[in-house]
Structure 1
Amino acid sequence: MRTTIAALVAVLITALAPGLAHAAEPPSNDDFDHATAVTSLPYHGELTTAGSTKAPDDPTECYYYGTDSVWLSYTAPEDAIVRATIGGQPYMAVYTGERGSLSMVPGTCTFMQTKTDTFHVKAGTTYYFALVEHYAGYGKDFTFDLITVPAEANDDRASASVTGFPATFEGDLRRASSEPDELRSACEPEAVQSVWYRYTADRARFVHLARTQNYGFTVSAFRAGDLSEVDCASARVNNGAVFAVAAGESYLIRVAAEEANAGYFKMAFGNAPAIRPSFSAPTDPSAYNDISFTPYAGDPLGMDLATGEIQFGDGTSAPITGRDTIKHRYAKDGEYNVRVTGSTKDGRSGTTERVLKVETHDVTLSGFSVPSTARAGETKRLKVSVGNNTRFDEEVTVRLEAESGDIGSLTQRVAAAGKVEFPFAYTFTADDVARGTVTFKVAGNLRYRYDLDDNPKDNELTASTKVRPAAGGSTRID
């Protein structure tokens, strides 16, 4: 049996040995110093990362956790735009420089799902392509293609694409370049890989340049005549650019990105949405309080009002400054037509009006009558006077308490501008004698209003009664 097992192991080793030897042998371009030279374009290569390794000085700027890699190199004979395409699982990064001090070409670190990249090459510069596996031992065959591609047709300002209205713009800013006299945007002057569009307005309107895919680019608009910039939106502003156009005037629209952010773009060119200025205010304003008005533009694009006015409907008004809160107090109750007029910085304007209902609810505890003295065991009457200062009938609850705790409450209707007495009774105790004086407190509130009284400072009263022992006896204190 032992001989049989040994023979079987020997057979297995013999069968597996060729595979093991093949897996251990790295490809010829495994190391940077032996990169496969691409001598002419177009290039197509059948390559593999099987058996590849990672050198200690392999660059880690793109996916530092990458493992096995192979290399290719290409020396550009002239300035051009090239496109590299991977057919397989490696990711790619492109470098220039010398071993140990390589610099990655901006924007050439591909994502796991991205298998194509486009970038500019300079005559005489050697570019090194690192094809890297994410996990050790997962090497496989793949294809690599490198070709030259033309620049976008509207790469230069002089060759701006003429557009109608509305329109959709799309293209690849990796296939765009910077002109020697590049007209830069104030929003992002470092974004210089640009394409251009030309638009002549058939009538006056407000237009909107809206990003619809890939937000990593800047958009700006210039007057074609004097090249003055009318509006711009950097890559950090998601809502795009809005500007007014005049009938018969031509405009240049520029789409641009930095080299590291250049890529596919898509945007819509159409009418800018109208604004509907309005305001927010407390839901239950009263004539006792300053009302905080917060104006807003009502702009679907999220812009603030740059200028404007709010008319309160009582003959007074106030200017609007951005999102600043405006305070106003009405002299009396009523329904006021509040009008907001305003403009955004791009010139869009609008006016809206809505009714603000000012309704004051206020009752006053105007009197609290208690006996000046009392004896233990006596029951005395206490009386609270409640007046209604407003034009609304109110359900009022008055609660009575003392040092001993809550005594009770009473609810009654108080007519508008009326006055009602709330009667209570209290039986004095030996504990009250021990204290010497009972201090009563009454508090009034509106029964059916969650925010209670609009003027709560006149809703509480206190009064005191001196308490003596019961007549004909004594009060014992343990």
Structure 2
Amino acid sequence: MFGRFHPLFTQTGVLFGLAGLATVVASCARELPVEPRRIAISPQLVPSNDNFGGATAIAGLPFVDNVDITDATLETGETPPFCAFGNATGRTVWYSFTPSQTGWVSATINAGFNTVVAVDTGSSLTSLIPVVCRSVFGGTSTFQALGGTTYYFQVDGMFGGAGALEFRLEAIPPPPNDDFANATPISALPYSNTVDLTAASREAGEPTPSCFFSSSGRTAWYSFTPVESRSISGSVVNAAFSTVVAVYTGTSVDHLTEVSCRAFGGLVTFRAEAGTTYYFQVDGLFGQAGPLEFRLDVTPLPVANFSFFPFDPSVFDVVQFFDQSFDPGGVGFQVEQWSFGDGTTGTGGFPTHQYAADGDYTVRLAVTTFDGRTASTSQTVHVRTHDVAITKFSVPNAASAGQTRRIVVGISSKRYSETVNVQLLKSVPGGYQSVGSLTQSVPVRPGGRTTDFAFSYTFTADDARVGKVTFKASAGIFGARDALPADNEAIAPPTTVNDGTP
């Protein structure tokens, strides 16, 4: 079959024969068509608002849009959001919004990765002016949008993150009690209410709290008319910014009289008279605003307390008293009245008193706050005059080295039986050295008699080399303070010491 040219290939190919084996190369341009190889290539899904010029226009609020920024890009001349601090992914999409009237708006992003949103104004990509910026490093995406101004929102990932996200732009309404005329009425105490001051404003004629110069001017109002006269306290808690609360009376926003004011989260406390309507103005400081909780409650009673020094006084001591009372209402104390328990009285925060005789005295302190709240407390002051004295000190006039002699210290107690310790010391070059100590009971003895503390001392060759020894005694009371310690020490006349040779 392959020994010669086959008629089949005479026009379509060439036949090669070799030892009965033929290789055929055929041109199949017409007879055997070949399908071209197809390679699947996914097209880039670049968001339609990838560039500033294609920013999605937001017609009204609230607005929600879902977008995937995986294939988004950073166009030529585009600057990453400044609050990303160089950590933006560089895959941005854009939105634009032109409000018809001035109001507060908030932009938020929900995504499974870290994001950043910057808000700018301007007419072109290269002339944008930052308004606010929010990222994982902080900042805010809430701002006051001016009517007729176009705002551009640049949305990006951070730290290389990208994917599907949800962008939201919402209007923040002012609180319902933004104006004085719409003050929220408080019917009973205790009262608590949460309000967001972000979109609050200051109306014409509204007063500025006197206790701080830099309020934000975003106020909310409350009113309360007590049915009984008593002290009440208003406060702001759970706020992430500094606040101020002012209290007024009056009939209109431009005819108010301030009653009290407190800034930086303290209690504003005052005495509210029954039947009088009080208005509470709540504001932020330093331009700050946001959610907060306003509380109004009956003011707690003060807590009376005091201390004194010395804590173990004698009749010779002038006792110093210290008022340590606390007012949880923060008003402070107008009056401090003292009764010292011996028929005498005193006033003020730091009075002094001296007792004429030993005894147990009940001291009472009564305090009154500036708004009329009262409290009292009492303590027992134990006056004890402990007094022992060294009234005798017997030492030998002369002694020899190696000789043991008796040394006696006589102690007297004038008022109480005491447990007394006596230390005996001897002179050495440069000071004194301990010889020994004795402890025993010292009763009160009539006629000035003493209780003797007897020591034995053996004189040494060192004493003989010096030629003399001076003894010193010191007495102390166990468990008490000696009222007159000056007579608790005594130094005896020197004892002459020789070496014992004739």
Q: When the two structures are aligned, how many residues end up with a matched partner?
A: 442
The residue that corresponds to 2:421 in the other structure is 397
Residues 151 and 401 of structure 1: CA distance in aligned 2, closer, same or farther (over 3 Å): same
The residue that corresponds to 2:478 in the other structure is 447
Deviates more, 1:330-339 or 1:242-251: 330-339
Q: Is the 8 A contact 2:223 2:280 kept in 1?
A: yes
The residue that corresponds to 2:337 in the other structure is 309
Percent identity between matched residues is 31
The residue that corresponds to 1:182 in the other structure is 206
The residue that corresponds to 1:248 in the other structure is 275
| Alpha-carbon separation, structure 1, partners of 2:245 and 2:222 | 11
Once the two structures are TM-superposed, the CA of residue 456 in structure 1 deviates from its matched residue by 3.4
TM-score computed with the length of structure 1 as normaliser: 0.80
- Residues 116-195 of structure 1: matches in 2 within 5 Å? 118-133=142-157, 135-166=158-189, 167-189=191-213, 190-195=215-220
The residue that corresponds to 2:88 in the other structure is 67
The residue that corresponds to 2:110 in the other structure is 87
Once the two structures are TM-superposed, the CA of residue 48 in structure 1 deviates from its matched residue by 3.9
Residues 137 and 117 of structure 1: CA distance in aligned 2, closer, same or farther (over 3 Å): closer
Unaligned ranges ≥5, structure 2: 1-38
Residues 310 and 26 of structure 1: CA distance in aligned 2, closer, same or farther (over 3 Å): farther
Q: Is the 8 A contact 1:296 1:304 kept in 2?
A: no
Residues 26 and 286 of structure 1: CA distance in aligned 2, closer, same or farther (over 3 Å): farther
Deviations 1:409-440 (A, max 9, x none): 11111124764222222221211011122121
Q: Is the 8 A contact 1:284 1:358 kept in 2?
A: no
Residues 187 and 65 of structure 1: CA distance in aligned 2, closer, same or farther (over 3 Å): farther
**Aligned residue type for 2:171:** T
| Alpha-carbon separation, structure 1, partners of 2:122 and 2:473 | 87
Deviations 1:288-335 (A, max 9, x none): 4443322123334566435423333344444435xxx54444343322
- Residues 79-118 of structure 1: matches in 2 within 5 Å? 79-88=102-111, 89-96=114-121, 102-105=129-132, 109=134, 118=142
Residues 76 and 56 of structure 1: CA distance in aligned 2, closer, same or farther (over 3 Å): closer
**Aligned residue type for 1:68:** T
Residues 46 and 440 of structure 1: CA distance in aligned 2, closer, same or farther (over 3 Å): same
The residue that corresponds to 2:389 in the other structure is 364
Deviates more, 1:179-188 or 1:151-160: 179-188
Deviates more, 1:453-462 or 1:170-179: 453-462
| Alpha-carbon separation, structure 2, partners of 1:412 and 1:79 | 91
| Alpha-carbon separation, structure 2, partners of 1:417 and 1:124 | 103
**Aligned residue type for 1:467:** T
Q: Is the 8 A contact 1:118 1:175 kept in 2?
A: no
Q: Is the 8 A contact 1:313 1:337 kept in 2?
A: yes
| Alpha-carbon separation, structure 2, partners of 1:333 and 1:286 | 9
Q: Is the 8 A contact 1:395 1:413 kept in 2?
A: yes
1:224 aligns with 2:245: no
Residues 79 and 446 of structure 1: CA distance in aligned 2, closer, same or farther (over 3 Å): same
Once the two structures are TM-superposed, the CA of residue 100 in structure 1 deviates from its matched residue by 6.8
The residue that corresponds to 2:300 in the other structure is 273
**Aligned residue type for 2:467:** G
TM-score computed with the length of structure 2 as normaliser: 0.77
Residues 468 and 414 of structure 1: CA distance in aligned 2, closer, same or farther (over 3 Å): closer
Once the two structures are TM-superposed, the CA of residue 185 in structure 1 deviates from its matched residue by 1.1
| Alpha-carbon separation, structure 1, partners of 2:184 and 2:150 | 34
The residue that corresponds to 1:41 in the other structure is 61
Question: Which one of 404, 415, 431 corresponds to residue 443 of structure 2?
Answer: 415
Q: Is the 8 A contact 1:277 1:298 kept in 2?
A: yes
Deviations 1:388-419 (A, max 9, x none): 243x3211010111135321111111124764
| Alpha-carbon separation, structure 2, partners of 1:100 and 1:406 | 90
Residues 299 and 215 of structure 1: CA distance in aligned 2, closer, same or farther (over 3 Å): farther
Q: Is the 8 A contact 2:469 2:497 kept in 1?
A: no
Q: Is the 8 A contact 1:26 1:53 kept in 2?
A: no
| Alpha-carbon separation, structure 2, partners of 1:111 and 1:73 | 23
**Aligned residue type for 2:188:** F
Residues 438 and 97 of structure 1: CA distance in aligned 2, closer, same or farther (over 3 Å): farther
Deviations 1:360-379 (A, max 9, x none): 33322233222232222322
Unaligned ranges ≥5, structure 1: 1-13, 474-478
1:424 aligns with 2:455: yes
Q: CA RMSD in A?
A: 3.4
| Alpha-carbon separation, structure 2, partners of 1:52 and 1:455 | 91
